[in-house]
């Protein structure tokens, strides 16, 4: 070093050596330093002589620019104009669709104050269709040779006073023979008036009339157990016994209740 170090002066700080190179700036101002004398470039910091300057506030925010060239589409109108060239409007009240059996009626009114037309539609319910009356089956489509009578309005039917229950096997064969033992044979149950004759029962089961039933008979069978049946009374269709009623044969009201049920087989005579 070819010059002396800094020198200290009271109330002045450090003084540079006069032989040292001249500073670029005569003074370096500072916000918190005391006022310097001209010609001095170096000084000491005194904390009690000043305060830190406040930070300047940020610049105010600039408002967002909107593109005024593009506008959102307008909302659709709540009413429908009758024409684009007139101010008259038509207001239609929405309604629920009418049912197939109803009639829709619309009424239009004009309001001169608002210059609008209002249309109101209503549904008038028609009377329900009359219920379909089912006719009694004819003889050609009946499953029985003697279907029940058809009663007209106001007519009544008198039922027989007493009935019995008959169990008739579907198989028209002598089921008392050994080859039919142990088989689960199907049968039908009939509620029959006790005034019926045995011949009537044979005709109803065969669905035949008169001489067509010749050679057939109604045979009562008795259950023996384990699918075995024993032959009982056999009544041919053309016999005098077949002209008697079921009640006279002992097939009365008590059979199937207090007495044993009646089991019959309608088959050819052996």
Helices (H) and strands (E) in the chain, counts: 1, 11
CB 237 within 8 A of CB 216: yes
From CA 251, how far away is CA 249, in angstroms rounded? 6
- Note whether 40 and 115 are same-domain residues: no
From CA 168, how far away is CA 185, in angstroms rounded? 10
We report the CATH number of the domain holding residue 205 as 3.10.20.90
- Note whether 188 and 240 are same-domain residues: yes
From CA 39, how far away is CA 24, in angstroms rounded? 11
Instruction: Please indicate, yes or no, if residue 79 is contained in any of the structural domains.
Output: no
Instruction: Please indicate, yes or no, if residue 149 is contained in any of the structural domains.
Output: no
All residue ranges of the chain with pLDDT < 50 are 1, 3, 80-86, 136-143
- Note whether 103 and 195 are same-domain residues: no
- Note whether 183 and 259 are same-domain residues: yes
Q: How many domains does the chain have?
A: 3
Instruction: Please indicate, yes or no, if residue 150 is contained in any of the structural domains.
Output: no
pLDDT given for residue 146 in this prediction: 72
Q: Tokens 């170096």 label which residue?
A: 42
Q: Helices in the chain by DSSP H: which ranges? A: 198-206
Model's pTM, two decimal places?
0.47
Instruction: Please indicate, yes or no, if residue 200 is contained in any of the structural domains.
Output: yes
Instruction: Please indicate, yes or no, if residue 64 is contained in any of the structural domains.
Output: no
Instruction: Please indicate, yes or no, if residue 16 is contained in any of the structural domains.
Output: yes
- Note whether 173 and 247 are same-domain residues: yes
CB 20 within 8 A of CB 3: yes
Instruction: Please indicate, yes or no, if residue 119 is contained in any of the structural domains.
Output: yes
Calculate the CA 193 to chain-centre distance.
50
- Note whether 167 and 117 are same-domain residues: no
- Note whether 113 and 171 are same-domain residues: no
pLDDT given for residue 221 in this prediction: 94
Bridging pattern class, strands 116-125 and 89-92: parallel
| Total residue count of the chain as it appears in this document | 270
Task: Quickly list DSSP for 95-158.
Answer: -PPPPTTEEEEEEEEEETTTTEEEEEEEEEEPPPPPPPPPPPPPTTT-SSSSPPPPPPTT---P
Range of the domain at 104: 88-125
- Note whether 185 and 263 are same-domain residues: yes
| Per-residue pLDDT tens digits for 35-78 | 555 555 555 555 555 555 667 788 888 877 666 666 667 776 65
pLDDT given for residue 143 in this prediction: 47
Straight-line distance from the first to the last Cα atom of the chain, in angstroms, rounded to the nearest whole number = 161
pLDDT given for residue 81 in this prediction: 45
- Note whether 105 and 40 are same-domain residues: no
HSE-CB at 226 with a 13 A cutoff on CA atoms is 2
Question: How many Cβ atoms sit within 10 Å of the Cβ of residue 266?
Answer: 21
From CA 52, how far away is CA 223, in angstroms rounded? 128
Instruction: Please indicate, yes or no, if residue 96 is contained in any of the structural domains.
Output: yes
């Amino acid at each position: 070093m070819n010059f002396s170090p800094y020198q200290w002066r009271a109330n002045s700080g450090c003084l540079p050596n006069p032989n040292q190179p001249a500073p670029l700036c005569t003074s370096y101002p500072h916000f918190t330093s005391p006022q310097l004398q001209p010609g001095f470039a170096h000084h000491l910091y005194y904390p009690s002589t000043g305060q830190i300057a406040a930070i300047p506030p940020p610049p105010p925010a600039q408002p967002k620019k909107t593109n005024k060239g593009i506008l959102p589409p307008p909302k659709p109108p709540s009413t429908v104009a009758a024409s684009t060239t007139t101010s008259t409007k038509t207001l239609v009240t929405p309604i629920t669709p009418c049912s197939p059996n109803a009639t829709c009626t619309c009424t239009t009114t004009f309001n001169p104050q608002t210059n609008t037309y209002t249309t109101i539609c209503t549904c008038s319910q028609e009377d329900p269709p009359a219920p379909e009356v089912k006719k009694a089956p004819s003889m050609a489509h009946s499953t029985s040779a003697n279907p029940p009578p058809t009663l007209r309005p106001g007519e009544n039917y008198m039922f027989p006073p007493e009935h019995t229950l008959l169990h008739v096997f579907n198989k028209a064969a002598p089921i008392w023979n050994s080859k039919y033992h142990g088989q689960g044979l199907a049968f039908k149950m009939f509620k029959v008036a006790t005034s019926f004759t045995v011949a009537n029962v044979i005709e109803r089961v065969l669905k035949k009339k008169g001489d067509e039933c010749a050679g057939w008979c109604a045979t009562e069978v008795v259950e023996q157990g384990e699918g075995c049946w024993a032959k009982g009374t056999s009544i041919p269709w053309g016999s005098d016994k077949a002209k008697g009623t079921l009640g006279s044969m002992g097939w009365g009201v008590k059979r199937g209740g207090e007495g044993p049920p009646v089991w019959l087989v309608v088959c050819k005579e052996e």
